[in-house]
Amino acid sequence: MASETVANAVEHVFRDNGRPTGYIAGEEASAAFIVGLRYGKGLLYMKHRQPERVHWQGPSAGFDFGGNASRVFTLCYNLQYPDAIFQRFPGVEGTIYVVAGIGVNYQRANDIVLAPMRTGVGLRGGANVGYLSYSRRSHIIPF
């Protein structure tokens, strides 16, 4: 059942956006009590380029409670150069983790669209708005 759910999420993202120009494989942790924080790291893979280390962090606010740790696979669309990832990407997210869960959302900045797909463990539920700021180094302050 979990494999089928992941496959359906991937199929939905491909149907909406076509073929990605790159992807990020990584991991993250997040927690929220109305206001939330998310921190992650991974590698950006693009055709004919060396993988590049990417960190992300960001705040969120909404009806959102709990925490989770996830593996993240982010499909990148219209990302022509690796340096273009280093900016803020706003998004809206709905999440439910009861021991384990999966989530997909879209983030958009300029013409670049990111589709993070998360699978992980935790106890979390709700909806929020926020952004993720992608950078070369990790930052403690998420703004």
Cβ–Cβ under 8 Å, residues 85 and 125: no
Closest CA to 43 of 140, 141, 134, 118: 134
Q: CATH number for the domain including 42?
A: 2.40.128.480
Query: Is 142 a member of any domain?
Result: no
> What are the pLDDT digits (tens) for 63-119?
999 999 999 999 999 999 999 999 999 999 888 788 887 777 889 999 999 999 888
> What are the pLDDT digits (tens) for 3-49?
566 666 666 666 777 789 999 999 999 999 999 999 999 999 999 99
Structural domain including 111 reads: 2-135
- Please return the burial class of 86, using the count of CB atoms within 10 Å of its CB with bins 0-12, 13-18 and 19+: middle
Which residue bears the tokens 């059942």? 1
Query: Is 141 a member of any domain?
Result: no
Query: Is 127 a member of any domain?
Result: yes
Query: Is 45 a member of any domain?
Result: yes
Query: Is 67 a member of any domain?
Result: yes
CA 35, chain centre distance (Å): 17
Query: Is 104 a member of any domain?
Result: yes
Query: Is 140 a member of any domain?
Result: no
Query: Is 106 a member of any domain?
Result: yes
- Report the predicted TM-score, pTM, of the whole model to 2 decimal places: 0.88
> Total domain count for the chain?
1
